[in-house]
Amino acid sequence: MGRDEVTSDRMPPIVVRVPDEPVEAVREADARDAASEVRSVVVRGPLFGVAVQKEGEEPRWRVMISLESGCAQEARDSLHSRFWFRAKDEAESKEERRALLAAVARLETERVDEITVLDERYRIVRVEEYVGMGPGGIELPRPTDPQPAVLSWERKHVARVDEGLLLDPAAPITPSQAAERLALRSLAYTSSRFPKPVLRDARDALRSHPDVMLLPPAFRVLERDGDAWSPATRLQATAHEARKALDFVLTWLIPRQQGLLAIETDPAATARSRAAEDPVGVDPELAELAQASDRLRAENSNELEVQGTLYRICRIRRLVRWGLDGPEGPRPSDVDSHPPEKMHPFMDEDGVVHPERESDRRDDADED
């Protein structure tokens, strides 16, 4: 066995518990019903975030940056900024600030997948996004999926994906979760449309990270124009947050994309506000978007057709592969959208920011 290979029998056992609380029992029954409807699983591709493991908390990891970035470098950039602002606003000593700024310096130039800072391990974590497909297509939200107690449509109240999420491979799970976890241990890319390095890394991951951990469901708005579905929004924590995101697309984003509202228009202006101000004289296309928003809010619908495009609130599943040392990191074949780069001005060990140092550096480069 290679040093990076692990077998599933070396992983901790899965602990299964039978739900005995009424609400949880109903959720479990809902999960069994949903599983019986799934005909296939469609993998969309990897997402990335950051997890931290504090000394003494092994084997648990806690999500620090949501597992939703499109490439590993986006997650590294987020960690980069977290360290910089922590050094600026929270560090209580020069020693603490030096350690944070040393991490910032590495992240400016290196594709760092794991780094230890002040006795805490930070890891870029790779997750797989997938959906269940049934007779009606991509799975919709389930009746028992969590929802906020108050269905606010205010954009300032947004639940965050993965907030406070603890990744604990020893935590007890329900029978339906255990069945799905076991069924997905062998999930890997196999299609010939994938490049050979991608297929090789997928096979290697089955050995190096033979177990999987299922993450809580997330939700995304997909749009279909013709036969293809594509994402219309980022991941959301609840189906209601996904509807709020769709409402924003319909009333704020599309009007500006189509020139129905000028880019320089008051940011508070929407199709809804214009329709309310002048119900008779409002542009017909703005009125259509406002009416679609009204339907969405009144019906809490999971599907909506507007201007020839069908929008669907879909239940997104994610899993992270797991090995003896914890969650899987980026694979060699994963593609980054951009290289590491300097993102913030120079800060000294006293926490003083020196923007002029960066401008001096640029001037020297121009002279060269």
pLDDT in tens, the chain (368 residues): 444 677 766 788 899 999 988 999 999 999 999 999 998 998 989 999 999 999 888 899 999 999 999 999 999 999 999 999 999 999 999 999 999 999 999 999 999 999 999 999 999 999 999 999 999 899 999 999 988 888 889 887 778 899 889 999 999 999 999 999 999 999 999 888 899 999 999 999 999 999 999 999 999 999 997 778 899 999 999 999 999 999 999 999 999 999 999 989 999 999 999 999 999 899 999 999 999 999 999 998 899 999 999 999 999 999 999 999 999 999 999 999 999 999 999 999 999 999 876 544 444 445 55
Write the CA distances from 13 to 22, 187, 323, integer angstroms.
27, 19, 13
Residue 320 · residue 213 · CB < 8 Å: yes
pTM for the model:
0.90
Residue 178 · residue 16 · CB < 8 Å: yes
In tens, the pLDDT along 11-36 reads: 888 999 999 889 999 999 999 999 99
Q: How far apart are CA 235 and CA 246, in angstroms?
A: 12
Write the CA distances from 17 to 7, 90, 152, 216, integer angstroms.
24, 41, 35, 17
Hey, CA dihedral for 62, 66, 68, 71, is it positive or negative?
Answer: negative
In tens, the pLDDT along 264-312 reads: 999 999 999 999 999 989 999 999 999 999 999 999 889 999 999 999 9
Q: Which of 301, 303, 315, 144 is nearest to 217 (CA)?
A: 315
Q: Residue ranges per domain, the chain?
A: 8-332
Q: How far apart are CA 36 and CA 114, in angstroms?
A: 39
Given this model, what pLDDT does residue 51 score? 98
